[in-house]
Structure 1
């Protein structure tokens, strides 16, 4: 692994060591108070409900979507290639079901939280402060042959249907590890309950949309970058998702489970400040219970608010979550109630390593 720079990348905050140390003693209280690919979610669903050709029909297992695999916002061409890799991975592991169609993680009650107060006027000022803080950090350049490593803790709440009866359940907080090559054509995913202990390959001939090399080519002028993001959104977004919401979520995806070059990060925050409807939230809690301030935007279509959570003092990015803040008119009994956390993620470590499945400590995962 590369030696750490004198100042950490925006995601390599000092709290990482403290967080990992406290996990052995149990997660902090309030942790129940983050992707990505819609196609992977559909594949996951199909593999849960379809029987293998040539075998006797079996009762349909509980049909449940992994809500942490974000609903369609952008559907880049790379998603098709990632989906192909996912088919192979889930076919081998049973999608983390242990072969019986049951996800052991989906056992708890709905995750809930206090809904923080939104301040539309404070968003621009907060994002300006976050941008300035990010500009004071640095990070290593990722070389060919190296991998970006992101470890996180994730949890979610979603409707689960068994025998035509739907209840709201949650996945317990669990670890997720992702490796991605700088060109976005190679990678690995390990997520307990979803991929099996050894994980699945993310290798593809088509680069992932948030690949480091791709991000390094993006303009660092805020107006030029905003224009490009909207162009990509208009080409690829789910038409049910409002344009500004899709742009906000796209920026969040570039900041979270990826490794944007240090010079690009301040620009991403400046761009977010230009999107209509973005607000500041006075208090938000990440997946591990850390309180912070948030930059957020409400999707009026489904009543859910996307929140990026930052440390109140250092303004380092802690994680993200999606909270149901408004009831949806005409929604059924299986709809999430206001105050429910649909998904939450806390990044615990982000680094550059010298091999796939290698951790920053030098050990091999999976």
Structure 2
């Protein structure tokens, strides 16, 4: 029994694949396994379990993931729960393959992966007449990830500033609340990204390596949360991806998991997000008349960002408004800023760390 026969046991009613398709899939499988068996980057041992990896995939990890990708090519992912439409499923599969081909940047000792994120969020206030007034704010952050991730991470958090208003009342409210808050940026510094006492990075290595098991895990983890099970599953994946530090193999598996969520489709072939362009893949949620997208560079499989579009026209937002988005850029740099504490402003204000991210000020 060959590896394709094993894969076909997943779904016994799958049509017999063309001989050429089987040969191509097998060739791609072994080509990637052999290619990833050659170490192309320095592997940095972590002193603690919670870490993401920048080095090349291990032979077992690469082989297992490629088997999953071959299974996707031959059998499809959508049968798990109905799944994405065929065009989106194909795009996500190609993005997963591109992620593995591109891999992760190799960091030398003393270098950092710089993750720059521009994040826009909505703010809503109910004014005296009972109406809702909303506006958008912008945060510009920089996260410096060390080559040895047990070392100190540095997080430069920009002040939240007014970004977009939809009427004169919203503009006045934005400026008034910004002035009252007196916000300034801050610099945080902590080993293992444990800012404010908790790591801001998911434990990627603990996630299931099989895409179907990963999706099942996500549905179980988010059960009973959010607007709907499918909406919450996509949101969970979106939040993991937008950290900007998702390892290539995990990113590929997350893309394949997205393909198993019902209602996922290509929403825009060429989407522009904060000056970067990619393919937008998302899902419309009827319960709150909104759509969640992820935007992917189809050539590299890297995440450009994510956005949420509100169609309802409620809560002081015009209909068809991009209510929030996060745009991400990554690069390798040779240094990081000095200064900073684990808890930023909270340390300067004399707050007491109560543990698990709770503070008393």
- TM-score by length of structure 2 reads 0.54
> Paired residue for 2:321?
340
- For 1:152, which of 114, 117, 124 is the aligned residue? 117
CA distance in 2, matches of 1:302, 1:257: 25
- Whether the 8 Å contact between 1:287 and 1:346 is mirrored in structure 2 is yes
> Paired residue for 2:289?
303
Shift of 1:282: 2.5
> Paired residue for 2:97?
132
CA RMSD of aligned residues (A): 3.9
> Which digits, 9 at most, give the CA deviation of each residue in 1:144-163, with x for residues without a partner?
99876421223344434455
CA distance in 2, matches of 1:313, 1:144: 29
CA distance in 1, matches of 2:220, 2:108: 29
CA distance in 2, matches of 1:136, 1:197: 37
Distance 1:166 1:282, change over 3 A: closer
Distance 1:301 1:147, change over 3 A: farther
- Whether the 8 Å contact between 2:41 and 2:106 is mirrored in structure 1 is no
Residue 103 (structure 2) pairs with residue 120 (structure 1):
no
- For 2:199, which of 179, 200, 207 is the aligned residue? 207
Residue 154 (structure 2) pairs with residue 166 (structure 1):
no
| Structure 2 gap ranges (5+) | 1-39, 43-51, 55-83, 162-182, 340-361
- Whether the 8 Å contact between 1:185 and 1:207 is mirrored in structure 2 is no
- Whether the 8 Å contact between 1:286 and 1:319 is mirrored in structure 2 is no
CA distance in 2, matches of 1:223, 1:141: 29
- TM-score by length of structure 1 reads 0.53
- Structure of greater relative contact order (alpha carbons < 8 Å, 6+ residues apart): 1
Distance 1:312 1:228, change over 3 A: closer
Shift of 1:140: 5.1
Shift of 1:307: 0.7
- Whether the 8 Å contact between 2:105 and 2:332 is mirrored in structure 1 is no
> Which digits, 9 at most, give the CA deviation of each residue in 1:302-349, with x for residues without a partner?
112111112355453211111113x27xx5xx3433320101221122
Superposition pairs of residues 45-64 of structure 1, within 5 angstroms: none
- For 1:218, which of 207, 218, 229 is the aligned residue? 207
> Paired residue for 1:191?
158
- Whether the 8 Å contact between 1:286 and 1:320 is mirrored in structure 2 is no
More helix by share: 2
Larger Rg: 2
Aligned partner of residue 259 in structure 1, secondary structure: coil
- For 1:266, which of 252, 258, 273 is the aligned residue? 252
Aligned partner of residue 134 in structure 1, secondary structure: helix
- Whether the 8 Å contact between 2:110 and 2:334 is mirrored in structure 1 is no
CA distance in 2, matches of 1:215, 1:230: 16
